Amino acid sequence: MLGEKEARVFLLRLGFMSGRSDARFVRAGWPNLDIGDAFTAGTRLHTFSGVVRVETVFNTYDFRKKRFSAEFLWRDSVEAAEFSKTRLASEPVCWTQLGYASGYASEFFDTLIVYKEIECAAQGHSHCRVVGKPADGWGLNDPEVMLFRERIDVADDISTVPASRSSAARAASTSLSSLDRLILMPVRDRLDRLAATTLPVLITGAPGTGRGIAARYLHRGSAATATNLRRVVGMQVDLALCAELARPVKATRRAPQRETIVIDAVETIPADIQPHFARAVEESMAEGGPRILAIADDCQESEMPAFSTELHSVLSPLHVRMPPLAEREGERLALAHAMLQELAVRMGLEPPSFEAGAKKLIETQLWPGNLRQMRGVLIAVLNSLITGATISAAQIEIALARLAPNPRNSATGSGKSAIDPNQLLGSDGFSLNALEHSLYEIAMVQAQGNLSAAARMLGLTRAQLAYRIDNARRSK
What letter would DSSP give residue 369? T
106-151 pLDDT per residue, tens: 988 888 999 999 999 999 999 999 999 998 899 877 889 888 988 8
Is the per-residue pLDDT at 180 higher than 60? yes
| Selection from 228, 222, 218, 286 nearest residue 254 by Cα | 228
Nearest to 152 by CA among 322, 17, 268, 61: 17
For the residues 77-93, what does the mean pLDDT come to? 88
* pLDDT of 305 higher than 50: no
Instruction: Evaluate whether the domain defined by 4-157 bears CATH number 3.30.1380.
Output: yes
Q: Report whether pLDDT(428) > 70.
A: no
pLDDT 10s digits, 30-43: 777 888 888 888 88
Q: Helices (DSSP H) in 30-149: which residue ranges?
A: 35-48, 78-83, 95-109, 135-138, 143-147
Q: How far apart are CA 93 and CA 462, in angstroms?
A: 45
Neighbours of 110 (CB within 10 A): 13
Report d(CA 160, CA 176) in Å as an integer: 13
pLDDT at 255 over 70: no
Q: Do domains 4-157 and 167-323 have the same CATH topology?
A: no
Q: Was domain 167-323 assigned CATH 3.40.50.300? A: yes
CA distance 215 to 237: 18
pLDDT at 172: 55
Strand-by-strand arrangement of the 113-119 sheet? 53-62, 67-75, 128-134, 113-119
* Order of strands, sheet of 259-264, starting from the edge strand that comes earlier in the sequence: 228-233, 259-264, 291-297, 201-205, 319-321
Alpha-carbon span 226 to 137, nearest angstrom:
36
Q: Which residues contact 394 (CB under 8 A, 6 or more apart)?
A: 357
The pLDDT tens digits for 209-253 are: 999 999 999 988 875 444 578 899 988 899 999 998 888 665 444
pLDDT by residue (tens digit) across 258-297?
Answer: 689 999 989 889 989 999 999 999 998 888 788 999 999 8
Q: CA 293, 297, 298 angle in degrees (round to 5)?
A: 110
Q: How far apart are CA 286 and CA 239, in angstroms?
A: 19
| 275-to-238, 293, 307, 379 alpha-carbon distances in Å | 11, 17, 9, 43
472/174: higher pLDDT: 472
Name the least confident of 217-221, 344-348, 385-389, 459-463. Answer: 459-463
Inter-residue contact 17 to 101 (CB < 8 Å) = no
Residue ranges per domain, the chain?
Answer: 4-157, 167-323, 332-409+424-474
Which residues neighbour 158 within 8 Å (Cβ) at sequence distance 6 or greater? 170, 171, 174
Question: Band of the pLDDT at 5, cuts 50, 70, 90?
Answer: confident
Integer Cα distance of 438 and 441 in angstroms = 5
